[in-house]
Structure 1
Amino acid sequence: MIDNFTYFSMKNFASTFLVLLILGTGCMSQKDYIAEYDFNYTANFKRYKTFGFVENPDDHEDLEVVEIIRRSISNRLGSQGFKFDEARPDLLVNYKVYKEEVKYRGYDQPNFDYWLQRKGAFVTEEDEFLKEEDKEKDENYNRVKYAQNDGMLVVFVIDNKRGNTVWQGYTSAIFDYNSPELKTDLTRATYKVMDQFRVLTRN
């Protein structure tokens, strides 16, 4: 026979376990996107104050995806002081969602925050755990081996006046376009990429 104390203890344990299981499942369902970036040493990030978007032919394929990505990018850049300018922006932003296997080449470069500060630009926050080897890297484009992914989100930031890419961020990402979580997944992945573009501007 189970006494009342044992019964209530088992009941509380079962309830607690159920809550932890639900929380654990919720955390596991949140995809952890790992973003990387490359940048152009010739860019003058201090002078950029406005941004716009490149008209992409693929945009007409899925307007919902375009809206989610553009809104996420706009919100992130807006929080850093950038103003949207459709006519003559300083920066043009383009993006590409690769739905199939892709190989991507990256570069081994100095830490972006440290490099920006060295050039007198403002950054969103200081990296307190910056490694010495990241500080001392030369301004070279040291290629690293191709990373192969089943899918990828890439964001390109282009100097509108010069017409060259000054920064690009990317993350491995496979999106289920039939999932009710598509909006959440796209938003999280886009923010994860744009979190690496930590340039502040003073308008």
Structure 2
Amino acid sequence: MKWTFTLAAGLSLLLSGCLMSREARVESDYSYAGQFRRYRTYEFISGDGLNSDTSRLGGAVRDAIRTRMKVQGYHASRRRPDLLVNFRLFEGDMHFRGYAQDDFTTWVKNGNSEEDNTPKEDRKGYQPVRLLLSEGTLLVTLIDNRTNRAVWNGYASGVSVPSGPQGEVVLRRSVRSIFDQYHIFTAGYLNGQNNAGTDYED
């Protein structure tokens, strides 16, 4: 991206972006059935609006997600991806149902997971929490492609997206904040064992 802002405009952009980051509320929740250590590949779900391939703001969100997924060892693939990525921007205030859960990173690190045949008495159980998310919310959902079940939601509220390049900056920053909640690397990636390449074949 070429920056053509004057110094004054650049400082204004930086300050306004910092204010938006401080006001944002970032949360996440996850499915106990998620097989997080098995996921290595992903693909985006396309649609209308922000999810459209022709949307400039949507492109900024996808690029930011791609960057984080790559850093954490995931590879884009159109051939039977492990995860489907969906995102949506909600305007204004909204009521959202989250869950009171153990720390996500600890859950995955301990190798915890529930299967369909896990006895009822051994299941963790979900404790719903009603949340009021204000002034715009960016929601990112990861879906297990095999089961077609959402396994992780990350969301940032207080996301006010101005027009022009500044809106792209705000969305990229929001994506980074959201994925700070998904601090999971693919199995073997940090040890150089994940050698899967990017696959865009249909």
Deviation at 1:139, TM superposition (A): 2.4
Cα distance change on mapping 1:120 and 1:173 into 2, 3 Å: same
Q: Distance in 2 between matches of 1:25 and 1:160?
A: 39
Give the length in aligned residue pairs: 166
Which residue identity is paired with 2:170?
D
- Give the TM-score normalised by structure 1: 0.73
Contact 1:46 1:120 in 2 (8 A): no
Are 2:139 and 1:154 equivalent residues in the alignment?
Answer: yes
- Equivalent residue in structure 2 for 1:52, among 38, 43, 49: 43
Structure 1: gaps (5+ residues) = 1-22, 122-137
- Equivalent residue in structure 1 for 2:68, among 52, 67, 76: 76
Deviation at 1:86, TM superposition (A): 1.7
Deviation at 1:163, TM superposition (A): 0.1
Aligned partner of residue 37 in structure 2, secondary structure: helix
Aligned partner of residue 176 in structure 1, secondary structure: coil
Q: Distance in 1 between matches of 2:85 and 2:25?
A: 20
Residue by residue over 1:124-171, the C-alpha shift from the partner in whole angstroms, topping out at 9 and shown as x without a partner, is: xxxxxxxxxxxxxx8221111232412100000000010000000001
Which residue matches 1:37?
28
Aligned partner of residue 147 in structure 1, secondary structure: strand
Per mean C-alpha deviation after superposition, the further-off stretch among 28-37 and 86-95 is 28-37
Which residue matches 1:190?
175
Contact 1:34 1:192 in 2 (8 A): no
Which residue identity is paired with 1:91?
L
- Give the TM-score normalised by structure 2: 0.74
Contact 2:100 2:126 in 1 (8 A): yes
Cα distance change on mapping 1:191 and 1:85 into 2, 3 Å: same
Q: Distance in 2 between matches of 1:25 and 1:70?
A: 22
Structure 2: gaps (5+ residues) = 1-10, 114-122, 189-193, 195-202
Residue by residue over 1:24-62, the C-alpha shift from the partner in whole angstroms, topping out at 9 and shown as x without a partner, is: 995464122331000000111111010110122223396
The percent identity for this pair of structures is 28
Which residue matches 2:8?
none
Q: Which structure 2 residues correspond to residues 1-203 of structure 1 after superposition, within 5 A?
A: 26-27=14-15, 29-30=17-18, 31-32=20-21, 33-58=24-49, 59-60=51-52, 63-119=55-111, 139-201=124-186, 202=188, 203=194
Which residue identity is paired with 1:200?
F
Give the greater-gyration-radius structure (CA). Answer: 1
Aligned partner of residue 199 in structure 1, secondary structure: coil
Contact 1:109 1:139 in 2 (8 A): no
Cα distance change on mapping 1:113 and 1:174 into 2, 3 Å: closer
Contact 2:28 2:154 in 1 (8 A): yes
Contact 2:30 2:152 in 1 (8 A): yes
Contact 1:109 1:140 in 2 (8 A): no
Contact 1:56 1:94 in 2 (8 A): no
Q: Distance in 2 between matches of 1:61 and 1:49?
A: 23
Which structure has the highest helix share of the two?
Answer: 1
Aligned partner of residue 196 in structure 1, secondary structure: coil
